[in-house]
């Protein structure tokens, strides 16, 4: 694609407290001529999100009714003038080189979409840092050619976005895996999706264990599992890769051996053996977390991640049961 013209699209809902941090880098890129426009789509916020974004200098549109980020992004795409749509969430601070990276990526002319990762220094308590760093780990270590896509800090050719019909807001009526599903359609249409580790942003969301588990199960694991089982099939990509399945299996065995050891303490050698195996197959993750936060942080992150594997894999098994035993086919809608 020659003459890359980038339109930044930011869906926003109750984001007034975030805009002073997330908008300035994007507006600076616009002022330097690196992006054509910065569009904020206010999803009928009860606060002054729209007024503040307009005051700061963004192009602002307000939705007729609250429809979620997918609907807001679809609407913004009809207003954008660029041939590349750069979607940035309202809780993500894009790095200053973001537009330059996209100019280089899409300037090659054969790329349909691209996405990056969160940065190396998330804010908040240890658990929130773990969550955002896990996202970074998966994206930084992923294959550079992907079958799916991420909307937190990712871009799509405007032509491809229009060709595949944008986000599916009927199936995914609440924020869920609408970006993953869109990536699958882009790939199916023959589009090349690039993972660029230098395209980064700082995620400002603060996670708790409670909201993390709920989001992971009901907004990620269940709908993604149903999409895979009903339509896509398992692929060796991101956190559905072959080794991820091995790690999830070991996490399940570790959990079962822990329960068995409580009932029968003489089984502790099995528990220790599985724990060593878990550390071995997750050594890359352990080193990554150690570099980010030290040994204690790395141990806590790795142990919690085994819990993540257990409930995520359990969600997939449940969806298999739904499909093959209960006969619930094509159950993709997220109400």
CA angle 284, 290, 293 (to 5 degrees): 140
Model confidence at 115, pLDDT cuts 50, 70, 90, reads very high
**The pLDDT value given to residue 233:** 73
- What is the tens place of the pLDDT at every residue in 36-81? 999 999 999 999 999 999 999 999 999 999 999 999 999 999 999 9
Q: How far apart are CA 220 and CA 176, in angstroms?
A: 6
In whole angstroms, how far apart are CA 33 and each of 88, 196, 200? 18, 22, 20
Query: Quick check: 50 and 17 in contact, CB under 8 A?
Result: no
> How many residues in total does the chain contain?
335
Return residue ranges of the chain for CATH 3.90.550.10. 6-207
* DSSP letter (8 states) at residue 207: P
User: Average pLDDT in the 155-177 region?
Assistant: 94
The whole model's pTM is what?
0.94
Which fold is adopted by the domain 6-207? Answer: Spore Coat Polysaccharide Biosynthesis Protein SpsA; Chain A (3.90.550)
Beta bridge partners of 159: none
- What is the tens place of the pLDDT at every residue in 76-114? 999 999 999 999 999 999 999 999 999 999 998 899 999
């Amino acid at each position: 694609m020659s003459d890359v013209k980038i339109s930044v699209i930011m869906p926003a809902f109750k984001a007034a407290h975030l805009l002073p941090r997330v908008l300035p880098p994007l507006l600076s890129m616009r002022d330097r001529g690196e992006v054509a426009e910065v569009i904020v789509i206010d999803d009928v916020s009860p606060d002054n999100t729209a007024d503040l974004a307009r005051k700061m200098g963004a192009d602002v549109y307000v939705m007729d009714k609250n429809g979620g980020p997918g609907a807001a992004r679809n609407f913004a795409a009809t207003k954008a003038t660029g041939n590349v749509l750069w979607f940035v969430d309202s809780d993500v601070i894009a790095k200053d080189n973001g537009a330059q990276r996209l100019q280089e990526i899409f300037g090659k002319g054969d790329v349909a979409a691209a996405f990056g990762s969160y940065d190396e220094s998330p804010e908040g308590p240890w658990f929130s840092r773990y969550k955002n760093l896990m996202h970074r780990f998966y994206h930084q270590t992923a294959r550079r050619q992907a079958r799916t896509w991420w909307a937190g800090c990712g871009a799509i050719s405007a032509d491809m976005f229009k060709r595949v019909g944008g986000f599916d807001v009927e199936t995914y009526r609440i924020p869920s895996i609408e970006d993953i599903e869109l990536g699958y359609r882009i790939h199916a249409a023959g589009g090349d999706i690039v993972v660029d580790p230098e395209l980064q942003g700082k995620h400002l969301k603060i996670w708790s264990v409670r909201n993390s588990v709920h989001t992971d199960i009901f907004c990620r694991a269940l709908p993604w599992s149903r999409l895979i089982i009903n339509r896509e099939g398992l692929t060796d990509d991101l956190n559905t890769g072959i080794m991820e399945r091995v790690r999830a299996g070991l996490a399940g065995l570790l959990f079962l051996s822990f329960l068995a050891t409580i009932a029968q303490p003489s089984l502790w050698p099995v528990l220790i053996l599985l724990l060593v195996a878990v550390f071995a197959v997750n050594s890359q993750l352990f080193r990554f977390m150690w570099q980010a936060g030290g040994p204690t942080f790395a141990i806590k992150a790795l142990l919690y991640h085994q819990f993540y594997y257990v409930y995520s894999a359990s969600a997939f098994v449940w969806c298999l049961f739904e499909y093959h035993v209960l006969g619930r086919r094509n159950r993709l809608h997220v109400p």
